[in-house]
Structure 1
């Protein structure tokens, strides 16, 4: 009996339950655990926490974000149409005296602008005929730039690039498949078109903040906001942590808009009131575009999407 036990023992000890080393009982030689004290690891953990909080606290608003974004994007056109109607005489006088519009042409110019802005804005809000609505509003931006002689004004140019970016975001949000394609011709798929419009919208949206950096008096707060805001703009443009950076810009621009463009605190007869009001509603339009970006994400042509692939 004892001899059997002594013979059996070596066989038992030499038995290997995992001869090929496939179990997870031991750590791989190439694996290295994350160091919680690593600064980069802390930044990753912080950004993940911020993203999770944005996701959690935006849940009640999420079903309404597309409607809020679309409304804010076109609010500048609605305000502009209302301003033209309520200041009709002043608008006619300016176009005829300063822009040398012939009598009658100035009236037609304003009527076309008002009707296009009202019809296009209503269609965007209702998500009906979005392609035509966006095309009409884009035409208004260009026509007004030449008509009022503001096309070479840098601030006007940067702001309207951002408004155009917001319109591209609207178009991407409302994009649907179309069947009216010509047989035999090469076409771009709906998914690809949406990716390109999202990319263009992201890039154009940040020009408003660039205009903010270029104008105004400099102080410590402005320098800090400009540096952080510029970093967020770059992140939006390349699509890196795009939802987080877009949400940050929504907050910053909203606070800036209330304090810097407080047109309601200026007397109605003051000449700067209309300029502040114009800037206020244009900034709201860009905020609307950023809200759509938070809702939709950056699209396929972005660092965030490439990270998912690789």
Structure 2
């Protein structure tokens, strides 16, 4: 995927606006910001900015081989929690029916239809998202599953479930934004906004929702010095993702933190298969993978027009 660049003409007439220092794009240099006051080499803020610029350049260079594959990896990770959930329902069919009929008071037959609809929708929609086919309908189907399961299993008012699923919804919004890059036809009845306008609003919504998983991580668990440090740094990265400031690198940092946390905290494979905690850990593990997938799409797509990063290009 290529990122479009906006060329801002300088004042000074037609000749000045049509001038291009590198007409063939060979040098790949950054545009000149024009005249600026000399920078004090001993200024600590200037040193930090210079270091941050170097880090960004190195990340951009060394991440190039992986970038073409980020959308596919992100899409797969986002729907992996739905694939695991469909497999879990099929392998625990009797237990699922018993829970719905005994604890949720579902009538016999309605519980069967409820589970079947969930399985079919999750499998079909997940495959469609991975294959990039009918993505809008697939995302709508998975959003419906998240909401229906919240009410059906009585977890809609559970804070941890609510925050995690907000992040999963954020990942689905990122999938929808990614699909808008190649979509040519608008749907009838939608508000008369341009494709670019719709994309940036979906990106903003997805960015904000993605960070709720980390907020849930901060609110639960036992506190320690390491946890306080990770929480402070992670919360700062979440805020940067939400406002779109250095969003790509903040999202990449959260991918690293969540991946490490997921392996050590949700290691369901180390728990005996008969232990009831195993299913909870597996559920958390795959949901975290989905949110990592949403962050990977953010790294690939960028924060969009409604972000500090985009405004910095204008001013």
TM-score range, shorter chain: 0.7 to 0.9
Distance 1:276 1:186, change over 3 A: closer
Match of 1:177 in 2: 184
Instruction: Give the drift of 1:36.
Output: 2.4
Deviations, residues 193-221 of structure 1 (Å, cap 9, x unaligned): 00000000000000000000000000000
Alpha-carbon distance in 2 for matches of 1:93, 1:186:
45
Equivalent in 81, 106, 111 of residue 116 of structure 2: 111
Q: Give the SS at the match of 2:209.
A: helix
**Do structure 1's residue 59 and structure 2's residue 64 form an aligned pair?**
yes
**Do structure 1's residue 192 and structure 2's residue 183 form an aligned pair?**
no
Instruction: Give the drift of 1:31.
Output: 5.3
Instruction: Give the drift of 1:150.
Output: 0.3
Distance 1:106 1:201, change over 3 A: same
| Pairing of 1:64-143 with structure 2 (within 5 A) | 64-143=69-148
Match of 2:303 in 1: 298
Deviations, residues 123-181 of structure 1 (Å, cap 9, x unaligned): 00000001100000000000000000000000000000000000000000011132444
Q: Which structure has the bigger radius of gyration?
A: 1
Deviations, residues 63-103 of structure 1 (Å, cap 9, x unaligned): 10000000000000000000000000110011011111110
Alpha-carbon distance in 2 for matches of 1:284, 1:208:
11
Match of 2:210 in 1: 205
Distance 1:90 1:299, change over 3 A: same
Runs of 4+ in structure 1 deviating by more than 3 angstroms, as ranges, are 179-182
Instruction: Give the drift of 1:231.
Output: 0.3
Worse-superposed segment, 232-241 or 30-39: 30-39
Q: Give the SS at the match of 1:218.
A: coil
Alpha-carbon distance in 2 for matches of 1:31, 1:294:
31
Distance 1:180 1:165, change over 3 A: closer
How many pairs are equivalent? 279
**Do structure 1's residue 224 and structure 2's residue 229 form an aligned pair?**
yes
Match of 2:163 in 1: 158
Gaps of 5+ in 1: 1-29
Match of 1:49 in 2: 54
Equivalent in 261, 281, 293 of residue 288 of structure 1: 293
